A and B are shown apart, each in its own frame.
Chain A
């Protein structure tokens, strides 16, 4: 799936010895430039899969990206990766999101200097999330009515794209009332 990349001892996908990586300062200079020749010379960054950064400290421009679950987080991560050419990291345990890793978000559970934008659901807390520092944050917000309904689909089907054949509020009204109140409190 990711030629030239390797799985490390904890099953994280990492750049291999032959894998091309990108320097963040040079990438930012490329974006700020108006030179078409320079753009053509660096087309490889945006071809095929997203790339890792070279690991040079990026404490001058560490970007966090937060949302409540089911707010369009993965959707926007795809845009980040396409726009920048760089893999997006995430602070949640790999075991929670192996499916996302297999679907192409290769830097799941990686927050170090090899990724640029890092996803989090902070301040909503999940077990064993990594702590990270950011220079700036992006927050995505979706209509809470849509989020509450989408989140219960994720919790009950353990998938991002399926939903049950029934309506919760009709089949299980007491549960639905409890769930909506609980989730609303967590969003507040």
Chain B
């Protein structure tokens, strides 16, 4: 989830929206928009060094 979030984010969107696939949909568009924000977009508070080291 930390190192490679894309597959998990797609799974989450499918699960939330009761979809079996998201290719070509706005759900997929949103996943790509979120990924484009970069790894720091989800950091609400400072991560410890040991956790930050996991982020590529």
Asked if A pairs with B, the answer is yes
Listed in ascending order, the chain A residues whose CB lies under 8 Å from chain B are 28, 30-36, 38-39, 46, 61, 63, 72, 74-76, 78-80, 82-84, 100, 103-105, 116-117, 136, 138, 140, 146, 150, 153, 159-161, 163
Contacts of A78 in B (CB 8 A): 41-44
Complex Cα spacing A61 to B16, Å: 8
Q: What is the minimal beta-carbon distance from B7 to any residue of chain A, in angstroms?
A: 13
Are B48 and A63 touching (Cβ within 8 A)? no
**B1 located at the interface, meaning its Cβ lies under 8 Å from any Cβ of chain A in the complex:** yes
Enumerate 21 A-B pairs (CB-CB under 8 Å) in ascending A order: A30-B26, A31-B17, A31-B19, A31-B25, A32-B25, A32-B27, A35-B26, A75-B42, A75-B44, A78-B41, A78-B42, A78-B43, A83-B9, A146-B50, A150-B48, A153-B48, A160-B44, A160-B45, A161-B46, A161-B47, A161-B48
- Count A-B pairs with CB separation below 8 Å: 86
Knowing that A28-B18, A74-B44, A103-B45 touch, tell me 17 more A-B residue pairs with CB under 8 angstroms. A28-B17, A30-B26, A34-B26, A46-B30, A74-B45, A78-B43, A78-B44, A80-B12, A82-B42, A83-B9, A83-B30, A104-B44, A138-B15, A146-B50, A159-B45, A161-B48, A163-B48
Report the minimum CB–CB distance from A148 to chain B (whole Å). 13
Whether A82 pairs with B34 at a CB distance below 8 angstroms is yes
Could you tell me which B residues sit within 8 Å of A by CB distance? 1-2, 5, 9, 12-13, 15-19, 22, 24-27, 29-31, 33-34, 37, 41-48, 50
B45 to A83, Cβ gap below 8 A?
A: no
Please report whether the interface of chain A is mostly helix, strand, loop or mixed according to DSSP. helix
Contact A39 B29 (CB under 8 A): yes
Cα A98 to Cα B22 in complex, Å, equals 36
Task: List the 4 closest A-B pairs by CB distance, nearest first.
Answer: A78-B42, A31-B27, A161-B46, A161-B45
A contact residues around B41 at 8 Å (CB): 78, 82
> Which residue of chain B has the shortest Cβ distance to A78 in the bound complex?
B42
Residue of B nearest to A80 (CB): B12
Are B15's CB and A136's CB within 8 A?
A: yes
